[in-house]
């Protein structure tokens, strides 16, 4: 078996299991002939809108926002591209347009909300007393801090005019159906894109505590807003679940299950570590390197498979995302161990803010890098995983996949 080709096939299988064209239609209501307003946000918003248009018989009108480069052409639904992971003015203006679109609807109208990973940055509309520049500054600081995604989204919800259930409230008395592709550990609807259409149990006090935990300086207006009761998100009891329905159409677990099935069909022993791993990328790699070594010398090949969303605490000034950082740490731990290959990539096709999905690590990667004068540990400490794998021509370049179920990590041990 060609290890590299096999790892690529596993990644492709995982992404296909989250393709809206493959998973959206079965979750639509039986009656698809009535008119509907369509709104949405996330890296899969454009492809979800396209899949909806193909499956819906009734009139559709609406607007969705996705990341630059992730758009597509729809006949009835407008697709706008905006900034991610740091929000921009186009995203803010589009969020206001979406809010205006659903405000004032009647009780017999339906709103279909298409949401996926990236929606928190893309559907950004600051709370009334918050400046866009302040939201951008806090967003950048959180991304650099190593905070977990649920912590980041807790802060985002309490600085927003649309997140944390506020968008659902704006749609009333119309009914809403949210179709979601999860990119977060645990698949919590209140965390996916910061939950614009679901009730939220987090508090403004928790948001302040998170910002303090990571030593993020609060602008005066932001602190004043977070201490104002008006900053609280919409709690359970304020949204009628019969009028605001929510369905997950793809999750990290369901997509990794497709990869696991393919591996087992090919006679590979799979060690599945879960779809919800968190923590520092480099530390996760160290533990998985030890596990990979323990699988060497067996009669059958093994695959260590995992997903989730790790973090990178920036210490240097290099380039790279959490998946290439994971692989660079793995390279530093294994130091060219024979028979071990790995692929780590973001299923949206973009690792962090770079142009690659991830990278591939081969048994000879460490030696080839040393021959080029590259030291894995030095580059890891500089957070320059992109530079390391670019020099080896081992970056995985897929372009936008127009879906997102978070990270895919696979370590193949040939036996």
| pLDDT tens per residue, range 319-341 | 999 999 999 999 999 999 999 99
| Residue 78 DSSP code | E
Q: What is the pLDDT of residues 379-414, one digit of tens each?
A: 999 999 999 999 999 999 999 999 999 999 999 999
pLDDT at 415: 75
Mean pLDDT calculated for residue range 36-55? 98
pLDDT digits (tens, 9 = 90+) for 101-119: 999 999 999 999 999 999 9
Residue 80 has pLDDT above 90, yes or no: yes
pTM, 2 dp: 0.93
- What's the CA gap between 360 and 323, in Å, rounded? 10
In 295-395, where does DSSP find H-type helix?
A: 322-334, 365-371, 376-381, 385-391
> How many degrees, rounded to 5, is the angle at CA 109 between CA 115 and CA 194?
25
Q: What are phi and psi of 63, to 5 degrees?
A: -155, 130
Structural domain spans, the chain: 3-11+253-413, 31-250
Taking residues 273-294, report their average pLDDT. Answer: 96
**Chain position carrying tokens 């299950």:** 257
**CATH ID of 3-11+253-413, from 1.10.260.40, 3.40.50.720, 3.40.50.2020, 3.40.1480.10:** 3.40.1480.10
- What pLDDT is attached to residue 353? 82
Look-up of token digits 């791993």: 277
Q: What is the largest CA-CA distance in the chain?
A: 68
Taking the C-alpha atoms of residue 176 and residue 37, their distance in angstroms, rounded to an integer, is: 9
How far apart, in whole angstroms, are the C-alpha atoms of residue 168 and residue 244? 7
What percentage of the chain carries pLDDT values higher than 90?
A: 94
CATH of domain 31-250: 3.40.50.10180
CA distances from 4 to 10, 39, 339, 359, 363 (A): 10, 39, 12, 11, 11
Q: Which residues pair with 66 in a beta bridge?
A: 81
pLDDT of residue 146: 85
Does the pLDDT at position 177 exceed 90?
yes
Average pLDDT of span 302-321: 93
């Amino acid at each position: 078996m060609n290890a590299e080709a096999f790892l690529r096939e596993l990644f492709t299988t995982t992404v296909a299991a989250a393709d809206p064209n493959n998973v959206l239609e079965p979750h639509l209501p039986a009656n698809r002939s009535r008119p509907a307003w369509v709104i949405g946000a996330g890296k899969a918003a454009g492809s979800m809108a396209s899949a909806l248009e193909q499956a819906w018989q009734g009139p559709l009108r609406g607007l969705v926002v996705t990341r630059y480069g992730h758009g597509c052409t729809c006949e009835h639904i407008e697709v706008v591209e905006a900034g991610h992971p740091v929000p921009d003015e186009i995203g803010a203006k589009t969020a206001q347009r979406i809010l205006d679109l659903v405000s004032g609807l009647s009780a017999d109208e339906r709103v279909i909300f298409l949401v996926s990973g990236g929606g928190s940055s893309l559907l950004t509309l600051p709370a009334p007393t918050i400046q866009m520049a302040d939201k951008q500054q806090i967003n950048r600081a959180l991304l650099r801090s190593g905070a977990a995604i649920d912590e980041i989204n807790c802060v985002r919800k309490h600085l927003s005019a649309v997140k944390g259930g506020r968008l659902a409230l704006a749609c009333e008395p119309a009914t809403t159906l949210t179709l979601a592709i999860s990119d977060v550990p645990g698949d919590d609807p209140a965390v996916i894109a910061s939950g614009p259409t679901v009730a939220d149990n987090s508090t403004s006090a928790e948001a302040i505590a998170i910002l303090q935990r990571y030593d993020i300086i609060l602008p005066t207006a932001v602190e004043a807003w977070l201490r104002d009761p008006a900053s609280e998100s919409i709690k359970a009891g304020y949204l009628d679940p019969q009028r605001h329905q929510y369905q997950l159409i793809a999750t990290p677990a369901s997509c990794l299950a497709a990869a696991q099935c393919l591996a087992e069909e090919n006679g590979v022993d799979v060690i599945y570590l879960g779809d919800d791993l968190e923590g520092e990328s480099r530390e996760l790699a160290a533990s998985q390197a030890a596990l990979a070594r323990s699988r060497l010398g067996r009669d059958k090949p093994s695959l260590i498979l995992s997903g989730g969303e790790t973090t990178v605490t920036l210490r240097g000034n290099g380039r790279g995302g959490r998946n290439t950082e994971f692989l660079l740490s793995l390279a530093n731990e294994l130091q060219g161990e024979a028979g071990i290959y790995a692929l780590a990539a973001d299923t949206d096709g973009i690792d962090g803010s770079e142009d690659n999905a991830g990278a591939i690590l081969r048994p000879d990667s460490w030696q080839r890098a040393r021959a080029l004068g590259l030291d894995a540990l030095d580059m890891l400490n500089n957070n320059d995983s992109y530079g390391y794998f670019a020099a080896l021509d081992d970056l995985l370049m897929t372009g936008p996949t127009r879906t997102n179920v978070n990270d895919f990590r696979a370590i193949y041990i040939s036996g």
